Structure 1
Amino acid sequence: HNMAGAPSPALTASWVPLVVFLLLPFCHGDLEPTFQHCCQLGSVVAAQDRKCDEATSGTPVQGIPAEQQSVCLSTMQLCCVLSVRDIQCKEGKQAAERGLGCQSTKFEDSKYCCEACKLGMISGSMAMGCEFQEFSLGEMWDETYQTCCTSISSSTPPVTAPISPNTSFTTPASNKPQKTPQSNENICDLLKGELCAHICVPTGTSSYRCDCEPGFSLMADGKTCQQVKFQNRCESNNPCQQRCTDTGIAIECSCLTGFQLAADNKSCSDLDECALGLHDCGQDQTCQNEVGTFTCQDIPRPTQPPQRQTTQPDYDREPEDEHVNNNTISSRYQEDQCPFGYIFNSRTQLCQDVDECEADLHVCSTGEVCVNMPGGYRCSRAQPTTTSQPIRCQPGFQYSDVYHRCIDIDECSEQESPCDSNQVCENTMGSYLCQCKSGFQLDSITQACIDINECQVDLHNCLPSQRCDNTIGSFQCVRYTSCGTGYTLNAQTGLCEDNDECALHMCDHLGPGYKCRNTLGFFRCDKINTPGPSSTTETSTPCDSCSLSTPSITFRCPRGYYANAQRRCIDINECEKSGACKPNQVCINIPGGYICSNKMNCEPGFRLNEETNRCMDIDECVEQPGLCDHNCHNSWGSYRCTCRSGYTLYQDNRTCADINECEMFKDRRLCIGYCVNQPGSYSCQCPQGYRLGIDGASCQDIDECTSQNVCTGRNEVCLNMRGAYRCVSTACPPDYIKDSQHANRCKRITMSCREDDKECLQKPLTYTFHFITLVSNLTRSSGPLDLFMMRGPMWSSTNVQFDLRLDKVHTPPSVQAASLQSFRLEEADHNVANIRLLQPLIGPQDIYLQLFMKFFYNGIYGGTTISNIAIFVSQYEF
């Protein structure tokens, strides 16, 4: 992970010049003590690791006159910034001197000073001088460069940069006496991570060469490593029936468990575990072979009916429906060109097999199960579902008792969707995808689906007379001018249409004696006149209750009404009175009362400011602490939660879950060794025999042979290999002695034989010992790997016959041992032979080859030499 650094307490670059400008008018002798005192206060703030903004929080500085307070605060902040930069620069220098990466520093100034220091260390180690004539890195970085350059040049002899990957680099001795580093130091340790891109191999105290990790090759500059391109030929040309592996040297076919490779090395046939004794059935059971597996059947007993026990199937076996001809599945088809049994997938543009079993398109009878196959299906006799062990499927699959195989889990149909509320779940084979909904887009940093502001990016279709208001996942068009009370805008015509308040039964609260009458922009509640018992009725009394007294009638109107001279109850218009509603509200008169309505109705996420009569954004992050698990970002009308590096946002869009980088990015090989997940991060670890590189990801071999007394046996030699070592013997067999001219050769004690002593004549003249170390599963995309070359006499009168034999192989039972077919002996030239590796070797294993070389002088046999070749393959691929 790139851990997010803490924000720098330094001021922004645009603020510092302004401070200088403000101070210029006051730069005279009377202010110098103020400058000095306030500058010291700012340095103290920096030393206490506080933010420089806190130095100017507005609190008056004690002992400073009021007219000089602003000058003092500006001086404190300026000196605080300079002190912070100086502290950060020292941290960067210390990181460079300890051999750490500059990216590990938290702050910008630390990083730049670290880089400047490393440049100085490289220049000093090369004895190129530490003073610039005209060039300058900058005031702070020039000083850092010169300090680090001077310190390294006084203790390290010069070294040249690498030019060729096969050359070790040294420099001629200088006439000027110099101090030499300690015996246990070398140039690679002094300048860790600076000389080579991958691996720095010291060839002396002041010389080195660069090497690359497996799978990379050294470029022409002798420092940079580039990845060796590897094209999997199985994808373009798969000749295998079951499994195809491109080793980089050749294409190898292999079979699933329960099958064996046929004579053509391409097709697979069933392996009869019962006949070969490869079963694990008990003494009271009989083995019955089946295609790809076997079953153990109990021998019937008088008191127990026969039972059938099925062996646990191979969980790594590929489902049968995946073995589809590449020309059918991998090729792109038009929608009407898919073969029978396939359907066109518009998303992938490929022909996809139809699962007739799952779609219930089969005609299997009762007692049979449907087994899907590429382009069709078959009906198979149902097998007992009781197994000795529960069947485990790969992640994303579950075992089906109906189909008797692992089938895909549709995560999208689960009760709890794996995607968040702003995403749409799309099921895939063995997994699923979360796609953003319409109106949302993926945030490249947080990987969360965020709302698209269609109004801001001009993706709306609002009319010129309308305002675009963004909403979550969409937008709405609002007319600039309101239609007013009692009217509603018709979006199609753009006209304000009258509201029919009577449809809302606005007069029902007055009782059954009133009827609603709609008017333009408003409505009226009219009294219903009912005829009395006499012919002379009072038709103008709309009051709810009237009391008759002598000699006249007294009227009483309901609340919100008053009686006029004509004895009618008239509605009181409360809105005509001042102060009925608040200033930011509109008064609406209704029969018998009034309503106060806000002039503006704020959308969710906004709140009306009564003083300004505007909708103001609600800062949910401030008002609701703990709303988000990690980081809360307020936005216009909403908020968004994000997580720290190494975490992902959960389905509730609030809490954060740790990312298992080791599992999620396992195809990217984050670690050369072991990847260990940690909360919010991960770390790399190495197995025994390796040490973690300075990049924190690669594992570098430990050369055990550099230690004393590793191999103490007589005639033993320590041979280092990746992650281990071997104590190999070069002891001579009986009747042979060491050749003083060649340490790895044994020669016969006597070379003379009687003419009739055939046993003596056939004894080898010499034995030689050769040792080769390889990493496990070493592949080469360019072809076979040249391992060993043997050259005989070059005289034209001499001919040599070569013969390669496999002596022995030491390997654990779980590792496939090498065979003689793993190698090829080729005669490259006259009396010259090469041994080539045809396929990768899996470690750990020790392989012992013997190369016989018979000499013939003018057709007459002249003797034999034997080269003992030991190949040691390490356990790991790095």
Structure 2
Amino acid sequence: MLGPLNTSSLKLRSIAIEQILSLCCQEGEEWGTQHRLCSSFNNTLEIVPGELRGLCLSTVEICCSKQHKIYKCTEGQIAARQGLSCSLKDGQSGSEFYTDCCEACKIGLVVGSSSSKCSVEPFAFGSPWDEVYDGCCRDIKQGDDTFILNEEDENNLCGRFENLCSQICENTEAGSYMCRCHPGYTLLDDRKTCAQITSEDENEISSTEILDSSDCRRGYEKDQRTGECADVDECETGEATCDTNNQVCMNLEGSYRCLDIQDVKCDAGYRYDRKAGKCEDIDECEDQAACDEGFQCVNIKGSYDCIAVVKNYPLPAKKKVESCAPGFRRHNEQCVDIDECAVDKYACDSNQVCTNEIGGFRCDCKIGFTLDQVTNACVDINECQINAHECLESQRCDNTIGSYTCIRLQSCGTGYTLNAETGNCDDIDECLNEHTCRPNQKCVNSNGSYRCYDLLACPSGFVANSDATECLDIDECSTGKAKCGPGQICKNKHGSYACHCPPGFIIGKNQRCEDINECEMHKGMVCPHNSECINTLGSYRCDCKAGFKKTRPEDLVCTDVDECTEVPGLCHQRCINYYGSYRCGCEPGYKLTANNRTCEDVDECVEYKSNNLCVGICENSPGSYGCRCPQGYRLGHDGRSCIDVDECETRDVCNGRNEICTNIRGSFRCTRIDCPHEYEIDPDRNNRCRRTVRFCQQDDVACLRKPTSYSYNFITLTSNMPVPPTGRALFNLRGPTWYESIDFDMKLIHVDAPANVRPADERYFSLNKLSNEVLLNLVKSIEGPQDIELELSMTVFNNGQPFGSNIAKLFLLISAHEF
């Protein structure tokens, strides 16, 4: 079962979800085509992302199951045409479709054989039964002579079709049948199945349940499990009286037959095993040439099948999806931090120190360097210039990259004088000579300099006036005595001063003003959600994201841009605006081109050719398509099917003397029956010529050998009609049962085919002889158009001498179309 799908995780992928599900469905159909159990699907699907794997497997199972149902429905129709049971007892997958399609086809065969219309409008089974019923019913009307009923068969449906009823089938006078049950059973609502009647008291056995084999006809016995009459295999029970040395026992429905060993004939695909005493299946797959190259031979009972070998084409290689955030990498299915400082030694420049952080890294200036606010580069600090060195007064400060050097001066420098005798620099007492102290100050000498002390002791930040009578505030800001950092604003105070940074800045390292990054400090709270915060020097601004705009420059809120309204002609056909963007769409029957704006017509006839949009001819039109049919067909109500026009019923044709109208797919044929000399049209059957003289003298051998009648039979087939491995029954010729023996023979009289069509020959047909009747089978598909004339003769023998014959002329009319 699929769990809830996290749609937020469905990011943009290289392959759309629809393409992934299409690949999954193809995998399921191929798996089902190989007759494999859908639940055992084990192919690897590397292209499918993990969150779609469950959805893909469900799609595989649905498409595989659909393929199983198609196969089972086809097998059910074949079983109905061969008169087999519509029940599967082995619990195979899709058995319900086998049964339903078999039952629907069997009903269609009965209705088609009774000359009734094949329409399902009065009752309508529903899909897929309507299509199966209609196909089997129309096949009868259009040439499947396997089930053409003569007058005797029309009144004996129970004998002609097996398994119409679960127990007793009775023919009715109206050319139909009804089902009846054995004593102790009751007929269910489906009017064919019998169920055992039980007593109201489950512990009491009803007298109707006590049945014995006397309730069944001879050759049958009661099945204790189902309660139904089942055939007795006399060959297995030992009841048969065959000569085991020279004869083979063949079980029949309700009886058995003893056959001489040399006369035993097995069905096609079987051979007689003398040791086992029965016909055994031939494994045609042991012959290495049974199937062409590229096909695998699969043996089945009585035949074999060639199945195309499915090649496992590799799926497109899975693209590596980076699911970790920037600054992280995948390790053991987890995202771990990348130490950029260790991985990339050039992450920071040579004047910086790299510090790793979670999800990133930081570059700080080395000692002796400071950050330039304009270039964002670490530049050298000139310690000598800003008096941030420790050189003595007798030394000169020389700046170096990242530091400074103290160099002794050759002269003594200010405040000193060179002692010629000692070579040392002696201090100059400036207070004795020149100094700059005011009258209200006292001069005090110091090494290399001097200091002026006020005679009036004023607090810090104040200075005495010239008379030394009053302490005045010192404006450090205007006098230059304030020590504010670069970019700082000096504000004088009474007795002091203060250094402030401008708005948007904060005092940072080295007492410098550093820009405040409001976007990072107040992340998500500075700008509206549909705008992006951009930091600026000393401030910030809010820029609208793509697809949004400000109505007025002073607005703080960004509103959605309706690109479809503001940009005329943005899309070729349809423009769909959505929050923050737009997309282009096309009208039905069109698709977007590579630029995702222009629409082009979809040629459905080419694009979906494999889907068989039209049975006949597909014609593309702008934005759509249409179906039309060749001459002789009309378009069905579904707009795609081609339905043959039966000119013999809808038109006044073939009205000449002794003319017979035969409907062909897409056309019709008028054939005039010209009886041979001494024959005339049978008034009861206009397609048969009978002898004018019906009686012969007993010793008139020539008269006796003349055919009693000639029948002219017209069978229409579509071009390349599929033929099952066991063959397709075309015509049945039956003789009387009271003659000693009957001989059947078939001749190919004439074939008329165009130069580009391969003409049929006798290898396309086979005769299946059964005592007093013969079944003509088609064993290979015939390409149309072409006309084939066959002659099927039947000769009866009495006392070893020919005692009469009949000739059935068969005209096979193969249409030019496959539908």
What TM-score, normalized by structure 1, do the two folds share? 0.40
Looking at CA atoms only, which structure, 1 or 2, has the larger radius of gyration?
Answer: 2
